Amino acid sequence: MMVPLTDLQAQAFAKLADLVIAKVLAYGGKQTGKPKGEVSAVETLTRDGFSEVAEAWDPLIAEMGYGVDLHAVFVHSRPQVSWTRPDGSRGRCELADLLLVVDHKGPGTRKERRAVLIQAKLLKGGEIKLRGKEWTQYELLSEWPAFDFVTPGYAPVARNFLDESVCENAQNSGEYGGIDLKARPPLCVQEMIAPPRTTGGRISLGQLLVGMTRGSDAIGREAHIGGADDWSSTVDELLRVTAALPITIASAVRRGHSHSLGMLVAQASYGQMPSLSAAATRRDGPPSKFAEDDDDPGGPISIVRLTFTNPEHIEGEGA
């Protein structure tokens, strides 16, 4: 059990999150303009949507005695991975658009974590419809073959998410995030992989956030901070690689919380950081303009990390 929300509280938190998310997708936020496509929608959600959800949740979670911190980083690149198929051919694609992590610092030194990799897709006719090379990524997310990172900056070892000896529910490692900018209000949903070649189990993004906050076995996947299993260690590594990027945007500290919001790195690649000009990084106004169909070179992954802290928590070792 992570944050002990009642069913009524969970419904209220999810509804509030979905209202906030619909607003930023419809109008943009403090750091981004109205999204026009898949890339700008992910940017708006990462730089503005999750921060506004955290701010909306803050007074509610404070009444329970908890604190909430958010660290959100949008990076316009994604790590590339590859694997060998049973027939000997090689598969290669990006790992995902976004890593979502929810940490719970419980009483004493207890720490819990749930995480999920999210691949964003614009809904077409209200559905996620894949085509062409997009099926290669479906293969990765549905089968989770042992894979290696192709992008420099990650440990050169094979990752096997199917080893459930430490962390169960390998099928919950990744899923699709469906975005409909034409809906009124705009829609953001999550769909689990349902082989063969389908998705299912649709819930809203707000319900996903609440499910991970509560520690639902059906939503996201448990990870161990500093764990040796491939899933946990990969989550740790993805967080470390993205955290190593230069901080380019400062945010006001709100009510004693260390919100680090909206960092933007254009075409970042680990080990060769680009210089960022004022034109490439804005605190207010419209987002930097990225091609919606851009083929990025690979690099760090965008991350959103929510941390809930129990007032009785005593900080110990670990991330």
Domain that residue 227 falls in: 7-309
319 in any annotated domain: no
Domain contains 227: yes
Tell me, yes or no, whether 2 lies in a domain: no
Q: Tell me the pLDDT of the chain (319 aa) as tens digits.
A: 689 999 999 999 999 999 999 999 999 999 999 999 999 999 999 999 999 999 999 999 999 999 999 999 998 888 999 999 999 999 999 999 999 999 999 999 999 999 999 999 999 999 999 989 999 999 999 999 999 999 999 999 999 999 888 888 898 999 999 999 999 999 999 998 887 778 888 999 999 999 999 999 999 999 999 999 999 999 999 999 988 876 444 333 333 333 433 444 433 332 332 222 222 232 334 544 555 555 556 789 999 999 999 989 988 655 5
Would residue 315 count as lying in a domain? Answer: no
Angle value at C-alpha 24, between 21 and 29, nearest 5 degrees:
135
117 lies in a domain? yes
**Number of domains observed in the structure of the chain:** 1
Residue 314 lies in a domain: no
Q: In the chain, which ranges are E strands? A: 67-75, 80-84, 90-94, 98-105, 111-122, 148-149, 174-180, 187-193, 199-204, 221-223, 260-265, 302-309
Question: Cα(166)–Cα(312) distance, rounded to whole angstroms?
Answer: 27
Residue 240 lies in a domain: yes
Tell whether 192 is covered by a domain. yes
